């Protein structure tokens, strides 16, 4: 089946360069069963779920002379063993060694002649654990009709649900001439197609929002976002190299809920305040000037409810959109509680605050939604100029109960966000099973000290907790 890339998917496909590949990554840590976790069992799990993510068996074909957007075509030579790979650390492998491996794998370019995804099963990790790292091109994941692979391989029970036999027969791949002729045909009909596309876009906005007035409100939000202008000058914004550093942090979700209750705010407000405190101390440790009015502007996309009732029949159906949200983190404020208060006020004034998705309702989604939600947040962020914000922070809720991958317990879940142009740090936060997991991706050259951030995040959280005692 031949389908032309949407305008946004095409933009992602062409937007990347060797320094800023547009890959969304996911790192899952699972418990190694007594009998081990075989490559074949993971391979079978992925193969069973491919019908839910048909893009993962398709590749991108360019049209001659760039006459039209590229197209998705079935990969007639699809080989799942090329995409699902084995790797190992020298046993017993440390978390630091795993993070170095993820940083290297995550920055490698993918073969554009094949479907744009890879999965690595990393063995040898200490404490009887196995890591599963996936990376998918951002063009693959739009959040509704195309989900991230990490979304569909997770199960709510140790015994995987039954899947019918998948008999997949790839469609014949079109020739360059056929693609060129089809593109010429679209040029002839372009005026009609443009009108139809515009009408479809307006209808989709109205449908997602439930009413035209809501669509107008969201357009106004975007206008206000754009009107805020260029982000403050920051060491976070400089040339991005091809190499990365990756690290993680994990905090009890209960600590954030206690602060939410104490200060009558949202968990996301507390997350942003903790990040603000960590960035403040990171800048001070570098000898950077931090004044009382210093801020760092973050793009912190919000996942929001659709206006229609939640349909739990299929994965992805309970989230209709992710809303952009620019917030100035008050890193110049020395009082942690005041920082939280300022952030909570900014969030409360944002029009989508009343419809934020939380961890209590995300469990109605089948599969494990965070990988897809992070990808949607990144998609929203890249629709704005990177000059408008200093860093990207995605924060999405996951299931608050035990999940499984290939019958093994999912212990930890981290997103690995891409770096955007001239942004040397990106943070993705996932709540899962009573914990908050911070995935921290940074440029290897510009942030050689990124490994201090987990400790600074812990210190920032402790500072807030101390204020409640």
Q: What Cα–Cα distance (Å) separates residue 462 from each residue in 41, 254, 259, 336, 424?
A: 42, 13, 11, 10, 26
At residue 305, the pLDDT reads 45
- Least trusted range by pLDDT, from 30-44, 57-71, 324-338, 346-360: 346-360
Same domain, 318 and 457: yes
Rounded mean pLDDT, 430-457? 96
Alpha-helical regions (H) of 210-235: 212-227
Q: Is the pLDDT of residue 106 over 50?
A: yes
Domain-located, residue 220? no
Distance CA 394, CA 142 (A): 16
| Contact in structure between 161 and 155 (CB atoms under 8 Å) | yes
Kindly report the average pLDDT of the chain as a whole number. Answer: 84
pLDDT at 462 over 60: yes
Q: What is the number of other CB atoms lying within 10 angstroms of the CB of residue 273?
A: 30
> How many structural domains comprise the chain?
2
Q: How many CA atoms lie within 13 A of 34 on its CB side?
A: 0
Of 28-37, 244-253, 348-357, the poorest mean pLDDT is in 348-357
Please compute the mean of the pLDDT values over residues 347-359 and round it to a whole number: 58
| Residue 190 CB neighbours (<10 A) | 12
> Could you tell me if 30 and 37 are in contact, meaning their C-beta atoms sit under 8 angstroms apart?
yes
Q: Which residues contact 346 (CB under 8 A, 6 or more apart)?
A: 327, 328
> Is 16 inside any structural domain?
yes
Q: Residue 462 and residue 336: Cα distance in Å, rounded?
A: 10
Contact 329, 231 (CB under 8 A): no
Same domain for 241 and 355? yes
Using CA atoms, how far residue 104 sits from 90, 202, 243, 450, in Å, is 16, 42, 7, 15
Residues of the chain above pLDDT 70, percent? 83
Query: With contact defined as beta carbons under 8 Å apart, do 308 and 206 qualify?
Result: no
At residue 364, the 3 state secondary structure works out as helix
Which among 97, 130, 155 is the end of a domain? 155
CATH number at residue 128: 3.30.559.10
Q: Which of 135, 155, 175 is the last residue of a domain?
A: 155
User: How confident is the model at residue 366, as a pLDDT?
Assistant: 54
Tell me: pLDDT of 137 over 70: yes
Q: Please state, in angstroms and rounded to a whole number, the distance separating the CA atoms of residues 75 and 138.
A: 18
Residue 361 pLDDT > 50? no
What confidence score (pLDDT) does residue 351 get? 56
Backbone angles phi, psi at 349, to 5 degrees: -80, -10
Q: What is the pLDDT of residue 1?
A: 67
Q: Give the pLDDT confidence score for residue 145 in this predicted structure.
A: 66
**How many Cβ atoms sit within 10 Å of the Cβ of residue 178?**
12
Domain match, 318 and 458 both: yes
Whether 242 is covered by a domain: the verdict is: yes
Which band of pLDDT confidence, cut at 50, 70 and 90, is reported for residue 293?
very high
Residue 204 forms part of a structural domain: no
CATH number at residue 248: 3.30.559.30
Alpha carbon of residue 401 to chain centroid? 21
- Residue pair 320/304 in contact by the 8 Å Cβ criterion: yes
Examine the pLDDT at 321 and tell me if it is beyond 70. Answer: no
Residues 282 and 425 in one domain: yes
User: Residue 412: exposed, middle, or buried by beta-carbon count in 10 A (0-12, 13-18, 19+)?
Assistant: middle
Residue 310 domain-assigned?
yes
pLDDT for position 198: 36
Q: 364 or 104: which carries more pLDDT confidence?
A: 104
Q: In the structure, what pLDDT confidence band is assigned to residue 143 with cuts at 50, 70 and 90?
A: low
Q: Residue 230: inside a domain, yes or no? A: no
248 and 146 inside one domain: no
Residues 346 and 454 in one domain: yes
Please check whether residues 147 and 281 belong to one and the same domain.
Answer: no
> Residue 2: which pLDDT band, with cuts at 50, 70 and 90?
confident
Q: Is the pLDDT of residue 29 over 70?
A: yes
For residues 358 and 304, is the Cβ–Cβ distance under 8 A? no
Give the pLDDT confidence score for residue 192 in this predicted structure: 54
Give CA–CA dist 421/385, Å, rounded: 9
In whole angstroms, what is the distance from residue 121 CA to residue 89 CA? 11
160 lies in some domain: no
Give residue 32's domain range: 3-155
Under 8 Å CB-to-CB from 343, ≥6 apart: which residues?
A: 265, 269, 272, 273, 276, 327, 329, 330
The reported pLDDT for the residue numbered 385 is 87
Q: What angle do CA 372, 373, 374 make, to 5 degrees?
A: 90
CA distance 395 to 427: 8
Question: Which own/partner pairs from 113-118 qualify as long-range (CB within 8 Å, at least 24 positions apart)?
Answer: 113/59, 114/59, 114/75, 114/82, 114/83, 115/55, 115/56, 115/57, 115/58, 115/59, 115/75, 115/78, 115/83, 116/59, 116/60, 116/140, 117/56, 117/83, 117/149, 118/83, 118/85
CA 269/CA 204 separation, integer angstroms: 30
Instruction: Report the percent of the chain where pLDDT is more than 90.
Output: 60
- What pLDDT is attached to residue 67? 82
Kindly state whether residue 333 falls inside one of the protein's structural domains: yes
Domain end point (choices 155, 174, 197)? 155
Q: Using one digit for the tens of pLDDT, what is the confidence trace for 188-217?
A: 776 454 333 334 333 433 333 333 334 444
- pLDDT (0 to 100) of residue 25: 94
């Amino acid at each position: 089946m031949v389908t032309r890339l949407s305008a946004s998917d095409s933009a992602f496909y062409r937007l990347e360069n060797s320094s800023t590949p547009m890959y969304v990554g996911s790192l899952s840590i699972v418990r190694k069963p007594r009998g081990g976790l075989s490559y074949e069992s993971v391979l079978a799990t992925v193969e069973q779920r491919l019908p839910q993510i048909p893009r993962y068996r398709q590749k991108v074909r360019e049209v001659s002379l760039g006459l039209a957007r590229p197209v998705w075509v079935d990969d007639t030579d699809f080989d799942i063993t090329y995409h699902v790979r084995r790797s190992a650390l020298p046993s017993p492998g440390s978390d630091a060694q795993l993070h170095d491996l993820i940083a290297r794998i995550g920055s490698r370019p993918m073969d554009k002649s094949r479907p744009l995804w890879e999965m690595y099963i990393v063995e040898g990790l200490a404490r009887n654990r196995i890591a599963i790292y996936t990376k998918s091109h951002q063009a693959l994941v739009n959040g509704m009709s195309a989900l991230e692979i990490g979304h569909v391989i997770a199960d709510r029970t140790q015994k995987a649900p039954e899947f019918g036999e998948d008999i997949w027969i790839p469609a014949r791949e079109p020739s360059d001439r056929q693609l060129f002729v089809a593109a010429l045909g679209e040029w002839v009909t372009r005026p009609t197609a443009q009108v139809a596309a515009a009408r479809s876009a307006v209808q989709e906005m109205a449908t997602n929002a439930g009413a035209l007035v809501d669509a107008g409100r969201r357009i106004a939000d975007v206008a206000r976002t754009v009107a805020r202008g260029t982000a403050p000058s920051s060491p976070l914004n400089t040339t991005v190299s091809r190499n990365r550093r990756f690290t993680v942090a994990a905090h009890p979700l209960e600590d954030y809920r206690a602060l939410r209750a104490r200060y009558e705010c949202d968990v996301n407000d507390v997350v942003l305040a903790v990040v603000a405190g960590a960035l403040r101390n990171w800048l001070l440790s570098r000898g950077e000037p931090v004044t009382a009015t210093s801020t760092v502007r973050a793009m912190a996309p919000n996942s929001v409810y659709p206006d229609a009732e939640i349909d739990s029949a299929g994965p992805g159906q309970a989230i209709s959109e992710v809303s952009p949200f620019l917030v100035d983190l008050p890193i110049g404020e020395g009082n942690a509680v005041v920082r939280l208060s300022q952030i909570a006020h900014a969030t409360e004034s944002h029009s989508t605050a009343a419809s934020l998705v939380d961890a209590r309702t995300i469990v109605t989604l089948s599969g494990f939604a965070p990988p897809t939600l992070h990808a949607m947040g990144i998609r929203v962020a890249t629709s704005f100029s990177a000059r408008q914000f200093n860093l990207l922070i995605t924060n999405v809720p996951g299931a608050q109960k035990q999940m499984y991958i290939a019958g093994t317990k999912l212990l930890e879940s981290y997103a690995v966000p891409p770096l955007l142009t001239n942004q040397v740090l990106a943070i993705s936060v996932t709540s899962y099973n009573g914990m908050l997991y911070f995935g921290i991706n940074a440029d290897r050259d510009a942030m050689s000290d990124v490994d201090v951030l987990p400790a600074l995040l812990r210190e920032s959280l402790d500072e807030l907790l101390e204020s409640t005692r």
